[in-house]
Structure 1
Amino acid sequence: MADIVLNVEVREQTGTGAARAVRREGKVPGVLYGGDKDPVAISVAANEFRKALYTGKLLGHLVTLKYGQETQPVIAKAIDMHPVTDEPWHFDLYRVDEHQQIKISVPVHFTNHDASPGLKRGGTLNVVRHEVELSCPADAIPEELVHDLSGLEIGDTIRISSIKLPKGVSPTVDRDFVIATVAGTSAQAAQDAAADADAASAASAASETEG
């Protein structure tokens, strides 16, 4: 089960004015959706919510919602932050069963940049998808998808098939889509063209000498 527990209160009033009143009380307003039940307006103490958020295991993870003696596994799918203070402003939780198959976006990260010959030669990593939507059990959501850049040259393409997914996890898009590419700069392309021309000239000169 989830490590994070959110102690929530049910809000009787909804709307902008009610949300402001909740924030003045030192709480973060939110809404609980999903399942076969109606949406419920809820709130969580701001300090408790910040603590859960800063663990990095709140958004997009299975957590436990607690209301009195009742508990419910939920997924935190959206958290709005204040544009100035960067404090949590509103959140959305979705009801799930612990082993339910769900769809959720997971971030993609890349390792060993220094081990990529293409990047060493001045190429750039062009990330097409920073997140990938996956179908997975609610209690087995991957923290991240990781791809090793070792050995990649300019022109190489990273596709979803290049990333090993955990058992029971699959992309929601049924094709081998591109995650990222190693692209060359125009300066690098000019250098490569010049090097190819020099090599061709050297080969031609050698051939004439042999002739």
Structure 2
Amino acid sequence: MSVVLDVTVRDDTGTGAAREARRNGMVPGVIYGGDEDAVAVAVKMNEVLKAMNTGDFLGSMIELSHEGKKQKVFTKDVQFHPVTDFPQHVDFYRVTNKTLIDVEVTVNFVGEENSPGLKEGGTLNVVRYSIEVTCPAGDIPDHFEADVSKMEIGDTLNISDIDMPKGAKPTITDRDFTIATVVASRAAVEEDAEEDVDADEVPAIEQNPQIDTDGDGEA
């Protein structure tokens, strides 16, 4: 956990108060969860932007500091301005290292250069670029590694093929869902289809019969 943000508590809430905070270079937000009441806060815009640039802000556990007191939180959601793309509001969820949370974790695919199926001209069809898991807030995986180095055309990579760190479990538990498949390229499929057409299945072109114009039975 590398992100620490200083926050101020907002006495006023509502749309007008939030706009006033933004005019003063702050990003309004709220801290909620746990056994405590929700608290309206504000964070300096430049500090939020700096935290976002680290890649460890949204969907990560960070620390908020207020008058010397610190609170671990999970950045649950960030709302952005539709035009400027600047953050407009942040939702922080109170957690401890052991608090179980649901979070999306990116899947990194490795071994593509060694995949027999891809070498034969197949295509890696990615079904899921991320996996939602339940895990402790203090042990959120940076990513999951999906090894496709042994995949042939027609092979499927499922969630059971992904190594999960201790404490992390997929939120989907009723099936062994697909992460990726290796499929034949469209060109290869069309070429195979053409080769499957047997010459005997092509109807012969009947020659025009010769006409007996002399009536002697000979054409």
The TM tier, using the shorter chain, reads: 0.7 to 0.9
The match for 1:186 is 186
Mapping 1:123-162, distance limit 5 Å? 123-162=122-161
Shift of the alpha carbon at 1:142? 0.1
Which protein is richer in helix relative to its size? 1
Looking at structure 2, the residues matched to 89 and 122 of structure 1 have their Cα atoms a distance apart, in angstroms, of 46
The match for 1:27 is 26
SS in 2 for 1:150: coil
Checking the alignment, whether the CA contact within 8 Å between 1:155 and 1:183 is kept in structure 2 is yes
Looking at structure 1, the residues matched to 38 and 73 of structure 2 have their Cα atoms a distance apart, in angstroms, of 13
Does the alignment pair 1:104 with 2:103?
yes
CA separation of 1:122 and 1:4: change in aligned 2, threshold 3 A: same
Between Structure 1 and Structure 2, how many residues are aligned? 197
SS in 1 for 2:17: helix
The match for 2:177 is 177
Checking the alignment, whether the CA contact within 8 Å between 2:97 and 2:139 is kept in structure 1 is no
Using structure 1 for the length normalisation, give the TM-score. 0.84
* Corresponding letter in the other structure for 1:138: A
Does the alignment pair 1:38 with 2:37?
yes
* Corresponding letter in the other structure for 2:37: D
CA separation of 1:80 and 1:22: change in aligned 2, threshold 3 A: same
* Corresponding letter in the other structure for 1:32: I
Larger Rg: 2
1:6-53: per-residue Cα shift (whole Å, max 9, x none)? 111111222222222111111111111211222221111011111111
CA separation of 1:36 and 1:184: change in aligned 2, threshold 3 A: same
Unaligned segments of structure 1, at least 5 residues = 199-211
1:36-93: per-residue Cα shift (whole Å, max 9, x none)? 2222211110111111111001111111111111111110121222232222222111
Fraction of identical pairs, as percent: 51
Unaligned segments of structure 2, at least 5 residues = 199-219
Looking at structure 2, the residues matched to 78 and 41 of structure 1 have their Cα atoms a distance apart, in angstroms, of 15
Using structure 2 for the length normalisation, give the TM-score. 0.81
